[in-house]
Structures are given as structure tokens and as C-alpha cells.
Structure 1
């Protein structure tokens, strides 16, 4: 993306990642096997309650083209083909699932130093059309997104947002749910030397007049260990500890407790990611 604005989906992403990324309350295992020949393999497995779900995906790179194929435990096959630099500053992505013959989709991304435009169209007789656009630069960005269901000739979404980002600070304001929800998010680096960050997210519903908020923080204990914590107004408290026990291999422990549910059992989760 260079010095230009990021796509619309990145507005508020920095705070969202701090507050939600890597929190997991199941048993999860990820094995990544990169290859110098351009072929990579990733196996993922999760135990959710008494059920086990998983998938195996491969990635092959050649020139400007990347092909991803994923097979899951439900025998579904997902394929994605990415072509970079189709035209200057433009990438194209074609994806489809088997056996869902209506899942085909074509995405086109145009990333300029003053604008980021992303479009998506379903490859079926009554496609879903989506378009998002952001103008500005790496620091200040203003944008919006819209979705149209051609089958019913109705809008599936229309949202707008603005963000301001520096190296140690980021704030975003977005209007969601077709103008019915306002979300504000904020993340601040307290100390670059200690790796401590604080984040907050507040959501107001114009329909119900309800307000929701969540506060969180992350702290780098040492170059190999990171801890996070968060608290929301519904009484849920969560903590996370992530350790890089060998290069690029992580073990993550997560826990969440609902302080308003007296008899509730705290949720516990563990995730192991291996990369030789």
C-alpha cells in the first residue's frame, strides 16, 4: 500500500486487532510448511466442544500469480487466484468454492498513492455487487462502501468512515448498518520501548439508543512474550498470553470470564502455531 490510503476494510482495524485478534476459547492447531520452490502448505485444526473441524491449504506462487487451494473436513474446496500488477497499481482476485457453483467472485483492487478502490462482483446470473473507495493518504483517510443485490434490486449495505493514523496513534469513526450504528475506535502506543498499547471501542445504536464499549491493552513482556487484556460493559473480562517458543512458532493461552454470570464457567483456550 506504500504511502497511500489502505482499503476501506482497514479503517479501525488497528484497534480491532488489539481487542480481538488471537483470542481463542477452543483448541486450535496450525502447521505451516513454507517452501523455497514457491509451494507452501498450511494445516489447521480446531476442536470446538466435541466437534473437530479442520482444513488443509496449499499456496503456489509463480511470477505475479498466486494460487490458493483449501480443502476442509466438510469436503468443500475453496480456490483463489490472485494476479498482481494486472495494470499499474491494480490487482485481481478470482475465487470460487466447490461444490457451490454460485460462489464464484471476482475482486479488483486499485491502490493508488491518493486512493484505494476495491470492487467485487459475483460470477452468477444475479450477482452481488460491492464497491468501496477511500481517498487521502497513509495518515488521513475518508471512505465508504456500498453493496447491491441485483436479484432483489436492494442495497445490502452502505457505510462510511474516516480514520487518522500516525506511528503511535490511530483513531477511526465509522457509520454502520445503513446509518443505524455509530462506532468510534482508538488505539494509542503508551511506550514504544516497553511495547505497551491501549485501545478502546465504543458503539452507539440509533435504533435502541444502547451504548456498548470495550477497553483493552497489550504489553510486550520481552521480545518473545506478549500479554493482552480487555474488559467490556457487558461484564466480560478476557486475558491472553502469547509466547514465541521457537522462531515463528507461537503458543497462545486465552481465558474469558463473565463477571455477571455467577455460575458461569470461565472459557479457556489454547492455540499452537508451528512453522519450521
Structure 2
């Protein structure tokens, strides 16, 4: 009786699923546990994969592992508030004993500014900045800097956008290599857009600029 009461307090839902597709049968089970401000979901599928996710007031954690001889273990988590947050995403191959993925990101957000720093271990580091200068005209400036560890190359891109009118937006960006691109987008229907874009290499004036036209129609 005590065990049953404990389950009734902490278990919120237990569900099972089954799907037959051709000659294959797919099944799984989900369990949700809740204690105070912590909610945990546990999922098991027919391929012997177990995944868990936990949500707290200022944090979220998820992980997964396959019940095989050499599983790949995945873990991701985020900690923070609406202003500042720190997250990570890791995958470990138990067969090769190597990390196949190891990423981390730090972000800062307020009413008119978003800044982030992302680290992709063994690959690159990236910093970005997005600032709303004038909300009424949707005037925004942004910049992004990326460093590649494998090639030791830095990539720098800056850009801006401005609403010419409530239905027309103008965007321009340029990178460290001298490539500049512009875009004008007009919304002539709530779900239909007409776009003109162009790109030019300022370091190779002899090359013809690229011009594109696009029309998106949605009923």
C-alpha cells in the first residue's frame, strides 16, 4: 500500500504506444514523474533506446543512451534565465571512447540586444551580436565572428536591415573577404513575398554580380 501511494504522488502519467507499419511493429513507453518544481520524462522504445528529460524552474536536462554493446551516450542541458543562459550538448561514443560532439553556448538577451558565444570543441568558436536600433522601423545591426581551429581562418560578417515601409524590408551584409550582398523583400500579400537579392565580390570587380529574383506564393 505504501508503494502504491508513493507512485500516486510522483507518477503523473504512464503511456504506451504501438504502431504497425508493413511488417514492422514499433512500440514504446513513456513515464512522467513530477516532484515539486521538477518534471522528468522517461521514454523507452523498441530499439532499446532510453531517453530522459528533466525540467526545473531555471534549468533543463536531457540525456539518451542505447542499451547495446557499444552505445552512444547523449547529454544536453541548459541553465539560466530569460536574460542569461548557458547550455551544452555532448555525445560520447563508448566504442571508440571519443567525444563525437561537444558544444557549449553562452547567451545574453534583453529587450533590444542578443549576444551569444558558441564553442564547438575541435571545430570552431563563434560570437554573434544582434541589436535593435529602432523598433518602429525595424532597424537592426548585427555582427558575427567565427574562428575555425582546423583551418585557423577567421570569418567576420556585419549586416543591417531596415524597413522602408511596413511591407518592404531592406537588408545588406558584407564579410571580411569583401563579398557584399543586398536584399529587398516586399510582402504584397499576408503570405506572399517578392524578393530581389544581389551579391558582388568587391575584390574581384571583373566578376559579374549575381542577381536573383524570388516569388513565394501561399494561399
**Common fold, TM-score beyond 0.5?**
yes
Q: CA deviation at 1:275?
A: 2.4
Structure 2 counterpart of 1:268, from 188, 191, 211: 211
Q: CA deviation at 1:130?
A: 3.1
Structure 1 equivalent of residue 124 of structure 2: 181
Equivalent pair of 1:182/1:204 in contact (CA under 8 Å): yes
Structure 2 equivalent of residue 160 of structure 1: 104
**What does residue range 38-187 of structure 1 map to in structure 2 within 5 Å?**
110=54, 112-119=56-63, 128-176=72-120, 178-179=121-122, 181-187=124-130
Query: Structure 2 unaligned runs (5+)?
Result: 1-30
Within 2, Cα distance between the matches of 1:275 and 1:123?
45
- How many residue pairs were aligned? 182
Within 2, Cα distance between the matches of 1:91 and 1:274?
40
Q: CA deviation at 1:254?
A: 2.1
Q: Which has the higher contact order (CA 8 A, sep 6+)?
A: 1
Within 1, Cα distance between the matches of 2:185 and 2:50?
36
Within 2, Cα distance between the matches of 1:130 and 1:267?
42
Structure 2 equivalent of residue 191 of structure 1: 134
Q: CA deviation at 1:189?
A: 0.7
250-259 vs 195-204, which moves further: 250-259
Equivalent pair of 1:115/1:135 in contact (CA under 8 Å): yes
Within 2, Cα distance between the matches of 1:273 and 1:220?
19
- CA RMSD for the aligned pairs? 3.4
245-254 vs 138-147, which moves further: 245-254
User: What are the Cα deviations for residues 73-106 of structure 1, in whole angstroms up to 9, with x where unaligned?
Assistant: xxxxxxxxxxxx967767899xxxxxxxx9xx99
Equivalent pair of 1:202/1:214 in contact (CA under 8 Å): yes
Q: CA deviation at 1:187?
A: 0.7
Within 2, Cα distance between the matches of 1:206 and 1:115?
30
Equivalent pair of 2:200/2:209 in contact (CA under 8 Å): yes
In structure 2, relative to structure 1, the CA distance for the partners of 1:156 and 1:267 (3 Å cut) is: farther
Equivalent pair of 1:127/1:150 in contact (CA under 8 Å): yes
Q: CA deviation at 1:142?
A: 1.0
Q: CA deviation at 1:149?
A: 3.2
TM-score (norm. length: structure 2): 0.68
Equivalent pair of 1:126/1:150 in contact (CA under 8 Å): yes
Q: Indicate the SS of the match to 2:177.
A: coil
Equivalent pair of 1:129/1:149 in contact (CA under 8 Å): yes
TM-score (norm. length: structure 1): 0.55
Query: Structure 1 unaligned runs (5+)?
Result: 1-84, 94-101
Within 2, Cα distance between the matches of 1:126 and 1:271?
48
Equivalent pair of 2:122/2:150 in contact (CA under 8 Å): no
Structure 2 equivalent of residue 225 of structure 1: 168
